[in-house]
A and B are shown apart, each in its own frame.
Chain A
Amino acid sequence: MEDKILLAHGSGGKLAHDLVEKSFVKTLANPLLDKLDDSAVFELSGRLAFTTDSYVVSPIFFPGGDIGRLAVCGTVNDLAMSGAKPLYLSLAFIIEEGLPLSELEKIVNSVQRAAGEAGVKIVTGDTKVVPRGSADKLFINTAGVGVIPDGVDISGDKAGVGDKVILSGAIGDHGIAVMSQREGISFDTELESDCAPLGGLVADMLNASRNINCLRDPTRGGLATTLNELASQSKVSIRIEEKAIPVREAVLGACEMLGFDPLYVANEGRLVAIVPPEDADKVLKAMKKNKYGKDAVIIGEVAAKPPGRVVMKTVLGAHRIVDMLVGDLLPRIC
């Protein structure tokens, strides 16, 4: 019979130790983690960025990724969006009793690959097992810390009138790839999640210009929600062009089918940058050279009015407000 996670794996006893040593520490090995002390101890200097996020995606494996890769990329990206170089992550599992051990190992391997790619180390962790039904297979929490280079000052409230809005690639891949696996909706697609660590892309962008004002990754709620957050924090209007926003055909197709607007579909490997007009071209050029920014485009600019709102020029040349996402995306018939 297949080995499964038992409640005892989270008890702190022998089984728990075996799991941590054989499955986790071996795979994720690094000097800070290997000590197995209660905390990871390290030195850092300068301005630090610190963030946390929990990951509950269902299903835990989806085209182009899994919950492990997502848990690394999500936190790495949150650090990168403040301009930080991501360094250290914590990794905490809440596992539903009965999860096949092989699936957990697959996810830990995926965590390691994503961490390696992002250049971060998993330096501390935790495992809890809850009774069947108390969680959905596997939840992960990661927290991360990174160092912000000198001269970088990025925040959602810094968008200035005249700034250019840059998007790093096509929108909606992650949301649609995950949606394609949902029960009751299922459809087949070769589309893969865009889930990716963006620390390297951000470093390239900052090498091109330290004057980037805002960076944000349009995750849940999609591009529309992220632009609304930035417009509202900076008290400016963001003007975008419908024609300029890249959307893959498969995402368009799925959105047509389910009645979604791609502007609201989640991404896990995209970012929006707001950059002074005189720096926009060099930032864009730097982005296009990175594999996670090769399809980057300028999608609009920042205006004064109406403050806090996102206005889109439609393909007909008319204008409409683009609001935040309300509630969940649900397939609709109407």
Chain B
Amino acid sequence: MCLAIPVLIKSIEDKEAEAEIGGITRRISLWLTPEAKVGDYVLVHTGYAINILDQGQAEETLALLREIAEAEEAG
């Protein structure tokens, strides 16, 4: 449920932003994430940014998964 995808904020004008994914751009609303800045990746659901993605957390998760994969390969 609730399809939401990561897009990159390219520019902001008032409560709306120009956001990009894979060369596709679309206007999105920042009503739910007023703190979003240009350069942030946000999760967009039905045209609204619902969250700013946390790059640090994403990297930590991937590092953890790499550790698991390496341990499994070794073991």
- Report if A and B associate in a common complex: yes
Residues of A near any B CB (own CB < 8 A): 176, 180, 186-191, 248-254, 256-257, 259, 332-334
Nearest chain B residue, comparing its CB with the CB of A251: B22
Residue among A251, A252, A257, A334 facing the most chain B CB atoms (10 A cut-off): A257
CB pair B45–A257 under 8 Å, yes or no, is no
CB pair B25–A188 under 8 Å, yes or no, is yes
How many chain B residues sit at the interface, stated as a range, is 10 to 19
14 contacts between A and B (CB under 8 A): A187-B24, A187-B26, A188-B24, A188-B25, A188-B26, A191-B24, A250-B22, A251-B22, A253-B24, A254-B21, A257-B5, A257-B21, A257-B26, A334-B2
CA distance A256 to B46 in the complex (A): 12
What residues of A have a CB within 8 angstroms of the CB of B20 in the complex? Answer: 253
What residues of B have a CB within 8 angstroms of the CB of A256 in the complex? Answer: 5, 21-22
Given contacts A257-B44, A333-B45, A333-B46, contact A190 B23 (CB under 8 A): yes
CB pair A333–B2 under 8 Å, yes or no, is yes
Partner of A191, one of B21, B23, B26: B23
CA distance A1 to B21 in the complex (A): 41
CB pair A189–B44 under 8 Å, yes or no, is no
CA distance A291 to B49 in the complex (A): 40
CA distance A189 to B46 in the complex (A): 18
Residue B1 is within 8 A (CB to CB) of chain A in the complex: yes
What residues of A have a CB within 8 angstroms of the CB of B22 in the complex? Answer: 248-254, 256
CB pair A253–B2 under 8 Å, yes or no, is no
Additional A-B contacts beyond A188-B25, A251-B22 (4; CB < 8 A) = A189-B23, A250-B23, A254-B24, A257-B5
Residue B62 is within 8 A (CB to CB) of chain A in the complex: no
Per DSSP, are chain B's interface residues mostly helix, strand or loop, or mixed? strand
The minimal Cβ–Cβ distance linking A175 to chain B, given in whole angstroms, is: 13
Residue among A186, A190, A333 facing the most chain B CB atoms (10 A cut-off): A333
Q: Which 8 A-B pairs have the closest CB atoms?
A: A253-B22, A253-B21, A249-B22, A187-B26, A250-B23, A253-B24, A256-B5, A188-B25
What residues of B have a CB within 8 angstroms of the CB of A187 in the complex? Answer: 24-26
Nearest chain B residue, comparing its CB with the CB of A180: B24
What residues of A have a CB within 8 angstroms of the CB of B46 in the complex? Answer: 333
The minimal Cβ–Cβ distance linking A263 to chain B, given in whole angstroms, is: 17
What residues of B have a CB within 8 angstroms of the CB of A176 in the complex? Answer: 24
What residues of A have a CB within 8 angstroms of the CB of B23 in the complex? Answer: 189-191, 249-250, 253
CA distance A88 to B26 in the complex (A): 42
Residue B74 is within 8 A (CB to CB) of chain A in the complex: no
The minimal Cβ–Cβ distance linking B35 to chain A, given in whole angstroms, is: 23
Residue B3 is within 8 A (CB to CB) of chain A in the complex: yes
CB pair B24–A332 under 8 Å, yes or no, is no
What residues of A have a CB within 8 angstroms of the CB of B45 in the complex? Answer: 333
What residues of B have a CB within 8 angstroms of the CB of A249 in the complex? Answer: 22-23
- Write out, one digit per residue, whether chain B residues 14-28 have a CB within 8 A of any chain A CB (1) or not (0): 000000111111100
The minimal Cβ–Cβ distance linking B3 to chain A, given in whole angstroms, is: 5
CA distance A251 to B21 in the complex (A): 10
CA distance A180 to B20 in the complex (A): 13
What residues of B have a CB within 8 angstroms of the CB of A180 in the complex? Answer: 24
Given contacts A333-B45, A333-B46, contact A259 B3 (CB under 8 A): yes
CA distance A249 to B25 in the complex (A): 12
CB pair B3–A332 under 8 Å, yes or no, is yes
